[in-house]
């Protein structure tokens, strides 16, 4: 029988990648792992439970507050990180402002607790995206400065995809590894060691409903994908689309549109996170002209166009 390595064993083993490590990052990843397992459990029974599908803010017959899964996931990840103690502040897609823990923790986290949430109610893959940064401010509280670091400063980045199985994929800047949740034992096991993405692929993922809103260059690139007889695959959950293309080779893009001149996706907890992962796997991520990881954020919920995936395809899209 092949050796089985659990995520917790792997995290401890990799602590030596960081000489002088205190174990704080390992503990933080452990908290994220646990929250991911709980969200996975809830996502799996979402169709059975009205409180997961109900509108946030409403009450069920017992008079309990009903929560949507994205609100549930947000509260859960924040609670886990607050309890864990090495994170002093979180920026979440679900919160307008920074959430402070006032605990002197040395990390800050940017996250989208439940990405692709429009897919929850229809039983389609969704995900969690997280980026971990070292805090750089020195006052009693974290500041905007801590979150305005370029993506290249990420200490770790990862996502959890709640799909036909639940997988956690992450990097600390030393390659990318993927772990599949074995629900029978409740443990993430290393299933995809040292993920590398193909340099070329044959899948393009874009919401073509926006075709007439894209620039001529983007339209030319899409036309070229069709001429090349590439496969169009678009789930509408960034994590799921990205994950498939990472493993199989392909490009995901969400360009600027006439309506959304900065694109739709968020720099801090969508583009940056996946950009670090894709680069660590040998791929590429740009906003059309600039490497995503070099962009200097100016706002917490900043949007940016995103072209991400196999290097050859992203380069070609940039030339179009
Ligand atoms: P969300 O964070 O509110 O879920 O929005 C992000 C999602 C991505 O997961 C997905 O790739 C994209 O929005 C889909 O947008 P569209 O429906 O415009 O194609
Ligand atoms: Mg999102």
pLDDT tens column, 21-57: 788 898 999 999 999 999 999 988 766 655 555 555 5
70 lines ligand 1 (CB under 6 A): no
76 is a domain residue = yes
1 is a domain residue = no
208 and 185 assigned to the same domain: no
pLDDT at 55: 54
pLDDT at 22: 82
81 and 168 assigned to the same domain: yes
Count of Cβ atoms closer than 10 Å to residue 285 Cβ: 24
**Nearest CA, atom 19, ligand 1:** 207
CATH of the domain at 275: 3.40.190.80
How far apart CA 74 and CA 93 sit, in angstroms, is 9
284 is a domain residue = yes
pLDDT at 1: 60
How far apart CA 46 and CA 51 sit, in angstroms, is 8
Out of 92, 205, 210, 236, mutate this one to test ligand 1's pocket (max ligand atoms within 8 Å of CB): namely 236
pLDDT at 14: 85
Q: Which of 136, 159, 192 is the last residue of a domain?
A: 192
187 is a domain residue = yes
Q: Specify the number of domains making up the chain.
A: 2
174 and 212 assigned to the same domain: no
**Nearest CA, atom 17, ligand 1:** 236
24 is a domain residue = yes
75 and 117 assigned to the same domain: yes
pLDDT at 17: 74
30 and 159 assigned to the same domain: yes
Ligand nearest to the CA of 239: 1
H and E: helices and strands count for the chain? 9, 13
187 and 243 assigned to the same domain: no
pLDDT at 177: 97
Which of 242, 204, 238, 202 lies closest to 221 in space, CA to CA? 204
197 is a domain residue = no
94 lines ligand 1 (CB under 6 A): no
Q: Which of 130, 160, 192 is the last residue of a domain?
A: 192
165 and 301 assigned to the same domain: no
60 is a domain residue = yes
**Nearest CA, atom 2, ligand 1:** 115
pLDDT in tens, 231-276: 999 999 999 999 999 999 999 999 999 889 999 999 999 999 999 9
Which of 10, 46, 56 lies closest to 30 in space, CA to CA? 10
232 is a domain residue = yes
Report which ligand 1 atom has the smallest distance to the Cα of 237: 9
pLDDT at 58: 44
Ligand nearest to the CA of 306: 1
279 lines ligand 1 (CB under 6 A): no
pLDDT at 15: 81
Helix, strand or coil for residue 166? strand
Alpha-helical regions (H) of the chain: 7-14, 24-44, 50-53, 69-84, 144-147, 216-227, 238-248, 272-280, 311-319
112 lines ligand 1 (CB under 6 A): yes
How far apart CA 210 and CA 304 sit, in angstroms, is 16
134 and 104 assigned to the same domain: yes
117 lines ligand 1 (CB under 6 A): yes
pLDDT at 43: 87
User: Which range marks the domain in which residue 224 is found?
Assistant: 203-319
Tokens, residue 164: 């036909």
209 and 172 assigned to the same domain: no
CATH of the domain at 25: 3.30.540.10
Residues of the chain with pLDDT below 70 are 1-2, 19-20, 46-67
94 and 163 assigned to the same domain: yes
Predicted TM-score of the model (pTM): 0.93
118 and 207 assigned to the same domain: no
Tokens, residue 214: 């894209």
185 and 219 assigned to the same domain: no
Residues with CB under 5 A from ligand 2 (ion): 112, 115
Give, in order, the Cα–Cα distances in Å from 304 to each of 125, 254, 264, 272. Answer: 23, 9, 7, 10
Q: Which of 192, 222, 256 is the last residue of a domain?
A: 192
């Amino acid at each position: 029988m092949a050796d089985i390595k659990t995520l917790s064993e792997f995290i401890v083993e990799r602590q030596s990648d960081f000489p002088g490590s205190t174990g704080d990052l390992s503990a933080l990843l452990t908290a994220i792992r646990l929250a991911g397992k709980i969200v996975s459990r809830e996502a799996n029974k979402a169709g059975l439970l009205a409180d997961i599908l109900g509108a946030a803010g409403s009450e069920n017959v017992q008079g309990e507050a009903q929560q949507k899964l994205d609100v549930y996931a947000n509260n859960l990840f924040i609670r886990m990180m607050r309890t864990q103690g090495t994170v002093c502040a979180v920026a979440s897609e679900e919160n307008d402002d920074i959430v402070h823990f006032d605990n002197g923790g040395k990390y800050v986290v940017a996250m989208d607790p439940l990405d692709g949430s429009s897919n929850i109610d229809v039983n389609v893959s969704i995900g969690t995206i997280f980026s971990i940064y070292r805090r750089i401010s020195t006052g009693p509280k974290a500041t905007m400065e801590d979150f305005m670091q370029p993506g290249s400063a990420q200490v770790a980045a990862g996502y959890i995809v709640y799909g036909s199985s639940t997988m956690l994929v992450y990097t600390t800047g030393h390659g990318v590894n993927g772990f599949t949740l074995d629900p029978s034992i409740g443990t993430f096991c290393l299933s995809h060691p040292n993920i590398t993405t193909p340099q070329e692929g044959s899948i393009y993922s874009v919401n073509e409903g926006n075709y007439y809103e894209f620039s001529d260059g983007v339209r030319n690139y899409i036309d070229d994908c069709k001429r090349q007889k590439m496969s169009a695959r678009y789930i509408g959950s960034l994590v799921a689309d990205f994950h498939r293309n990472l493993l199989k080779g392909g490009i995901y893009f969400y360009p600027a549109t006439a309506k959304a001149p900065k694109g739709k996706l968020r720099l801090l907890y969508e583009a940056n996170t996946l950009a670090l992962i894709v680069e660590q796997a040998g791929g590429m991520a740009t906003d059309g002209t600039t490497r995503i990881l070099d962009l200097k954020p100016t706002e917490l919920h900043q949007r940016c166009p995103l072209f991400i995936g196999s290097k050859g395809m992203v380069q070609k899209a940039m030339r179009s």
